[in-house]
Amino acid sequence: MRQRVMFLAVGLLLATVLVQAQETKSTTRLQRQHKYTEFQKKQMKQTEASILAGIQGESVGMQQGAIQALRELAQIAADYPFSSLITPLEGKLTNTQSDRTVRMLAALALDELHSDAGDAVIKSVAEKSEDESLQTLCKALLVRSELK
């Protein structure tokens, strides 16, 4: 009789532990769906720093690659604030000495970051740029942002 009671107690304890573990897994999964973990935040900051280094680099190819990587990352992690990259992108977009492709990619990246500061820069370039194709792109981005 004592063995049966002990077996039943161990069985109930095991069932309780399994239910709690499943509940914890569900909670963890939900948290991962809606929030960044500390590891993910650290990884995003490191990625943001490497993108910043690429944007500020001397190589046009590196600048283009970094901005394109930012555009792709902004689509994947739409809720992550890339606020430290807005000023360097603005610098590339407004600098008439920058590579034309870099300037266009910077305009697209600023639009995809969905920030008021980025929209203000795009609006300024749309009104004042001497590069007609860049001006047209910025005007189109402004129209697209108004439609959303």
Residues 44-76 have pLDDT tens digits of: 899 999 999 999 999 999 999 999 999 999 988
The pLDDT assigned to 2 comes to: 47
| Closest C-alpha to 115, from 69, 57, 73, 74 | 74
Which own/partner contact pairs does 134-140 have at CB distance under 8 Å and 24+ positions apart? Answer: 134/100, 134/103, 134/104, 134/107, 137/104, 137/107, 137/108, 138/107
What is the domain partition of the chain in residue ranges?
38-147
What percent of the chain is modeled with pLDDT above 90?
A: 58
Nearest alpha-carbon partner for 117 in 109, 45, 75: 109
Mean pLDDT over 125-133 rounds to 94
Mean pLDDT for 19-47 is 67
Domain 38-147 coded CATH 2.60.40.10: no
Q: Higher model confidence: residue 5 or residue 100?
A: 100
Question: Which pLDDT value is given to residue 100?
Answer: 96
pLDDT of 30 strictly over 50: no
Residue 24 has pLDDT above 60, yes or no: no
According to the model, what pLDDT value does residue 13 have? 47
Q: What is the mean pLDDT of the chain?
A: 83
